[in-house]
């Protein structure tokens, strides 16, 4: 494969001319903080004068199910209503208000508003003062109290947990900071019981827990410490920056010592500062301050951090389940020039056996930076369309950049049409488009505030410009959408620029100042992009074919971890799949992904998770930025944006050395979004271009990412809609109300989580920003410093949080009793970790991510690497079962075709008796169909008759029998016989026959050796591997139809979403493992001499 192209040097020189513009335009010293921002410096930390305090003009009244407190002056009133069973919304509305930024960015909040708020009688909780009112909404776990001593006083608002009224308010809104008559608006929020950490306010650098300044009256103290939330393009930002980066989520989660949480979400699209300090009483307080707009605040309580984040996501909108390929490995580099360069990357991935799911095209693929076009010199004669077809045929995707700026020239059809229709942002008072400098040179910007402009942008994905060559086939990357303007202060659009808003009810058009909507510009763009791609997927033709190979077992292809097929001129590691391409089943156009588009956006706001993924922007190739990526991504997850990643290897800052690059791949492979991306001034660093020792390490890490895809995909399913509720049945909550405190499995949680989310009271570990949980069962501790070869991992042992449907206080904080500690196992060797004072040493040579699996968990994995993750959707599963100290374990899996087509299936495992030599080990499985009329079949053209199966079970246990070890023996080889019994658990009533089979397996375990090599009487407690299984997780379509119909007929009830039969499983089985003394019942091949051979048993199953 020729690489790089012959004219690479000339193309690099041309690209670097544009680099100088970027670097010169984004000096970090040019960005503001509070002390250099006039409105913040003048107001923050200074309590307003008496004339600026909003005073009540009358007692609490009622209007359309909301409580109303009329305020003096300006025709304003304080409106309070409940949002579903999740939170309270406190909002100031004034006569003449016609536009609220929050209504545009988060229309969902309006739909969640309830009309059944009522006042509680005085004896049930009001203080007895004449104008005090305590508000309550059925199902909401906290009351809202409006304290008003008398008419003419300033109101104060308290949020009081229903179950713990005696503890006082969990959150208070101070009326003195509630509203100012002048332009800046703000609110003081006090968290009286927040002795623990306070989290939130992404995007920013610094530690995960926010830094609180000491309570001080010193002038300027607040201005120096305030966090800035203002979306700006900061190239190679400081890793500890609090000045504001690419996106803003103005949310705070304040934790108490016992783990419960009070949260506040400030809804403003304007430049915002947040001052956070410790109160003299031991709690925390914050002051939200925005340059303009209206006071709009959402507040809630939760039993723990997981519940608080669930409520935030339920309020702002659950994310869509991404297509399976989006969770794979992505490669991008600013400087991929032309079709031959791209084809070389595509071919080298196969040649060197590196799984690859997407190739990304930066601005250089376009014709003179006109988006939705291709440069015909670099992509001639229809090669762009052909290349995307080549990618699709190998299970891969193309992702193309599309920025909000438009080259300002009449021969650009996007500019000419948008300008003629008034769909561009206008300059202040000019009536002409706002113009500034960006990649194309002089540019205009699409006005996403205008619904007509959003529709225009969305239509570009279904009807691109006439000269564009099938650009709309690819998925989308929205960059520079803060918006970035090179020749402007703060490298962004003037606050005086003018947008056009169209009232949906009246059609009235109104001018809106950019300063009012700046922070929501990016989320509006991402939403328009996602809408266009969904429409494209719904109406896509099936003109292309996808040909994923369908293999089973080791025949799926892929080389061993230590193999290098190119070392001797060998063929592709995935060449065994090539012969299957000619007869593989024709599928739909894979670039459409059946309505599951992929959108990556750099700018974001609360609710951006509804549209796709985000990333941490233009980081640097440094150890400091590698370390900073963990708390940054965790903070994004706590802000509701769980699908996030950092550019692996660093975008700017030069070239990482081999050690830094390998360590970054280790961390990136365990993070939600996994993409290698770099500046055009950096050397190309795709894995196949690197020296062989480095290439082998990176390939193995990318393969490992593919191995854990079933577990990761299941975690994304929980983030999107919950996973399993009581009894293991899928969570399918009522539309519009995702509930408050629900079962743990139904919580909408990010895939990447801080330890505090599940271990809030373990203060030893929760402050470790270099630790994180992937789902709830895998604990990662990436190496973030040079020269380290051993990682010290803090094992949380304060009791795994067990959520219940109760509110705060009804059953404590929802945790297990003290001392009910979790055990942990090395996730690769499955050896039990034996901590010393809560810490364990884990070997961490280059290429090995320190990773542990929680005892009591079942983690599904796939052992056979493919060239792309999308080809693994139907491959066999291996279960890694780590027993809890009591011998139990549980886990879930979500299965579908990976692209949104057809039905989905949630499967649940429950194990018991693990590690007990005197009792059988039992593993139960139940599967539930998700979707109208769905059973346990995945209707996919490439599905084999047996469906998706479990091919291997790996079980790790601790010796749990008092005074004995499972493998203790004085024999030479510590042998034992294992009898495996499979029971389908189905009968005629379920519409399927009842199957049962038994097989035997002879085990040998090496004897344990002492520190000096001497032989011990105790045998090594190695994990048990049961191989050669074909346990079904899905059913063939022919077998499933009758079973699904029988289950549906016997159900009698359906989900509020309609059509989901989930009260009964559509597939069940049980595996029982028995240990017996060693006897010669097996032949040389391991077959049971008294039973059928494996092949016959397979047929019976």
Give catalytic residues, as residue numbers: 479, 618
Q: Where are the beta strands (DSSP E) in 452-581?
A: 475-478, 498-502, 509-513
Residue identified by tokens 């599967």 is: 927
The stretches of 53-166 forming alpha helices (DSSP H) are: 101-105, 108-112
Q: Which helix (H) or strand (E) holds 614?
A: strand 613-615
Q: Where are the beta strands (DSSP E) in 71-166?
A: 76-83, 87-94, 118-119, 133-136, 142-147, 156-161
Q: Please name which of 349, 417, 499, 368 lies closest in space to residue 866, comparing C-alpha atoms.
A: 349
Q: How distant, in Å, are the alpha carbons of 297, 674, 894, 988, 1087 from that of 713?
A: 34, 13, 7, 34, 35
Q: How many CA atoms lie within 13 A of 215 on its CB side?
A: 9
Measured between alpha carbons, how far is 583 from 551 in angstroms, rounded to an integer? 13
Q: Are 886 and 960 in contact (CB under 8 A)?
A: yes
Strand order in the sheet with 441-445: 405-407, 441-445, 436-438
Q: How distant, in Å, are the alpha carbons of 20, 490, 602, 809, 1021 from that of 645?
A: 27, 25, 11, 36, 38
Beta-carbon contacts of residue 226 (< 8 Å; ≥ 6 apart):
33, 34, 40, 44, 242, 273, 274, 275, 289
Q: Are 669 and 327 in contact (CB under 8 A)?
A: no
Q: Which helix (H) or strand (E) holds 60?
A: none
Q: Is 583 helix (H, G, I), strand (E, B) or coil?
A: helix
Q: Please name which of 232, 202, 229 lies closest in space to residue 484, comparing C-alpha atoms.
A: 232
Q: How distant, in Å, are the alpha carbons of 65, 393, 439 from that of 121?
A: 17, 68, 63
Q: Are 672 and 752 in contact (CB under 8 A)?
A: yes
Measured between alpha carbons, how far is 427 from 738 in angstroms, rounded to an integer? 42
Using CB atoms within 10 Å of the CB of residue 838, give its burial: 0 to 12 exposed, 13 to 18 middle, 19+ buried: middle
Q: Are 517 and 493 in contact (CB under 8 A)?
A: no
Q: Please name which of 890, 1071, 852, 1081 lies closest in space to residue 975, comparing C-alpha atoms.
A: 1081
Measured between alpha carbons, how far is 582 from 71 in angstroms, rounded to an integer? 74
């Amino acid at each position: 494969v020729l690489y790089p192209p012959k004219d690479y040097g000339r193309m690099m020189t041309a690209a670097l001319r544009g680099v100088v513009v970027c670097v010169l335009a984004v000096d970090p010293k040019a960005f503001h903080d509070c002390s250099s921002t006039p409105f913040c410096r003048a107001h923050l930390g200074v309590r307003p004068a008496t004339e600026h305090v909003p005073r009540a003009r009358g007692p609490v009244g009622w209007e359309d199910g909301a409580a109303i407190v009329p305020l003096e002056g300006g025709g304003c009133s304080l409106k309070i209503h409940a949002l579903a069973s999740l939170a309270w919304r406190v909002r100031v509305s004034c006569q003449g208000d016609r536009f609220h930024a929050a209504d545009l960015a988060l229309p969902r909040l309006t739909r969640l508003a309830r009309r059944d708020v009522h006042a509680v009688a005085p004896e049930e909780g009001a203080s007895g003062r004449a104008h005090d009112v305590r508000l309550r909404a059925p199902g909401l776990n906290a009351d809202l109290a409006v304290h008003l001593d008398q008419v003419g006083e300033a109101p104060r608002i308290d949020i009081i947990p229903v179950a713990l009224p005696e503890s006082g308010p969990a959150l208070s809104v101070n009326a003195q900071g509630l509203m100012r008559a002048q332009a800046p608006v703000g609110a003081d929020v006090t968290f009286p019981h927040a002795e623990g950490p306070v989290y939130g306010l992404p995007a920013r650098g610094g530690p995960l827990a926010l830094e609180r300044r000491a309570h001080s009256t010193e002038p300027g103290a607040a201005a120096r410490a305030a966090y800035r939330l203002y979306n700006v393009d900061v190239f190679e930002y400081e890793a500890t920056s609090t000045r504001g980066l690419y996106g803003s989520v103005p949310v705070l989660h304040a934790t108490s010592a016992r783990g419960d949480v009070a949260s506040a979400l400030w809804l403003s699209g304007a430049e915002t500062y947040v001052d956070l300090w410790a109160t003299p009483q031991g709690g925390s307080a914050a002051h939200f301050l925005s340059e303009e707009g209206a006071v709009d605040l959402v507040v809630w309580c939760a039993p723990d951090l997981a519940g608080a984040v669930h409520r935030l996501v339920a309020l702002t909108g659950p994310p869509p389940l991404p297509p399976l390929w989006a969770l794979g490995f992505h490669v991008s580099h600013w400087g991929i020039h032309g079709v031959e360069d791209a084809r070389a990357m595509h071919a080298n991935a196969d040649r060197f056996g590196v799984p690859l799911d997407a190739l990304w095209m930066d601005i250089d693929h376009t014709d003179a930076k006109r988006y939705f076009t291709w440069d015909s010199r670099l992509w001639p004669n229809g090669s762009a369309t052909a290349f995307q077809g080549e990618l699709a045929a190998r299970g891969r995707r193309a992702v193309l950049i599309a920025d909000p700026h438009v080259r300002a020239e009449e021969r650009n059809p996007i500019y000419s049409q948008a300008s003629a229709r008034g769909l561009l942002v206008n300059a202040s008072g000019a009536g002409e488009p706002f113009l500034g400098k960006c990649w194309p040179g002089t540019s205009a910007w699409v006005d996403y505030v205008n619904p007509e402009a959003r529709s225009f942008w969305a239509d570009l994905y279904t009807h691109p410009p006439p000269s564009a060559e099938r650009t709309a086939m690819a998925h989308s990357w929205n960059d520079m959408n803060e918006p970035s303007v090179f020749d402007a202060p703060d490298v962004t659009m003037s606050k005086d620029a003018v947008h056009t808003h169209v009232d949906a009810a009246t059609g009235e058009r109104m001018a809106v100042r950019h300063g009012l909507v700046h922070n929501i510009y990016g989320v509006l763009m991402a939403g328009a992009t996602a809408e266009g791609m969904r429409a494209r997927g719904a109406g896509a033709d099936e003109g292309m074919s996808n040909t994923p190979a369908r293999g089973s077992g080791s025949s799926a292809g892929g080389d061993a971890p230590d193999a290098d097929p190119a070392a001797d001129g060998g063929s592709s590691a995935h060449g065994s799949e090539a012969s299957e391409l000619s007869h593989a089943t024709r599928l739909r156009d894979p670039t459409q992904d059946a309505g599951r588009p992929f959108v990556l956006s750099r700018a974001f706001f609360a609710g951006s998770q509804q549209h796709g993924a985000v990333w941490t922007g233009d980081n640097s190739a440094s150890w400091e930025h590698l370390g900073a990526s963990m708390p940054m991504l965790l903070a994004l997850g706590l802000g509701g944006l769980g699908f996030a990643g950092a550019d692996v290897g660093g975008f700017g800052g030069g070239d990482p050395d081999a050690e830094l690059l390998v360590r970054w791949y280790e961390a990136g492979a365990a993070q939600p979004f996994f993409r290698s991306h770099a500046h055009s001034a950096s050397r190309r660093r795709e894995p196949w271009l690197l020296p062989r020792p480095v290439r082998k390490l990176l390939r193995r890490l990318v393969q490992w990412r593919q191995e854990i895809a079933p577990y990761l995909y299941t975690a994304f399913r929980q983030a999107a809609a919950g996973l399993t509720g009581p009894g293991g049945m899928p969570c399918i909550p009522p539309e519009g109300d995702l509930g408050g405190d629900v079962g743990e499995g139904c919580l909408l949680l990010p895939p990447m989580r801080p330890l505090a989310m599940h271990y809030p009271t373990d203060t030893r570990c929760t402050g470790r920003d270099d630790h994180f949980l992937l789902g709830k069962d895998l604990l990662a501790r990436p190496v973030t410093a040079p020269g380290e070869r051993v990682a010290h991992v803090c094992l949380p042992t304060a009791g795994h949080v067990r959520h219940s449907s109760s509110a705060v206080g009804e059953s404590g904080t929802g945790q297990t009793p003290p001392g009910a500690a979790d055990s942990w196992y090395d996730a690769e060797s499955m050896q039990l970790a034996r901590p010393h004072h809560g810490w364990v040493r884990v070997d961490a040579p280059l290429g090995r991510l320190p990773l542990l699996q929680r005892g009591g968990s079942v983690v599904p994995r796939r052992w056979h690497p493919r060239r792309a993750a999308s080809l693994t959707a139907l491959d066999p599963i291996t279960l890694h079962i780590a027993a809890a100290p009591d011998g139990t374990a549980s886990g879930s899996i979500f299965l579908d075709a990976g692209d949104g087509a057809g039905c989905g299936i949630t499967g649940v495992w429950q194990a018991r008796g693990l590690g007990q030599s005197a009792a059988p080990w039992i593993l139960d499985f139940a599967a539930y169909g998700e979707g109208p009329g769905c059973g346990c079949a995945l209707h996919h053209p490439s599905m084999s008759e047996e469906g998706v199966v479990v091919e291997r079970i790996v079980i790790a246990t601790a010796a749990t029998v008092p005074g004995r070890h499972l493998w203790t023996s004085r024999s030479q080889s510590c042998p034992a016989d294992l009898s495996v019994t499979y029971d389908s658990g189905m009968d005629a009533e379920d519409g399927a026959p009842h199957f049962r089979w038994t097989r035997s397996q002879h085990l040998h375990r090496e004897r344990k050796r002492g520190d000096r090599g001497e032989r011990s009487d105790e045998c090594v407690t190695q994990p048990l591997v049961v191989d050669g299984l074909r346990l079904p997780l899905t059913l063939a379509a022919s077998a499933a139809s009758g079973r699904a119909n029988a289950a549906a007929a016997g159900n009698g009830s359906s989900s509020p979403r309609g059509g989901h039969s989930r009260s009964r499983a559509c597939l069940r089985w049980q595996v029982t493992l028995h240990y017996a003394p060693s006897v010669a019942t097996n032949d040389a091949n391991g077959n049971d001499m008294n039973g059928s051979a494996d092949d016959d048993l397979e047929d019976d199953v």
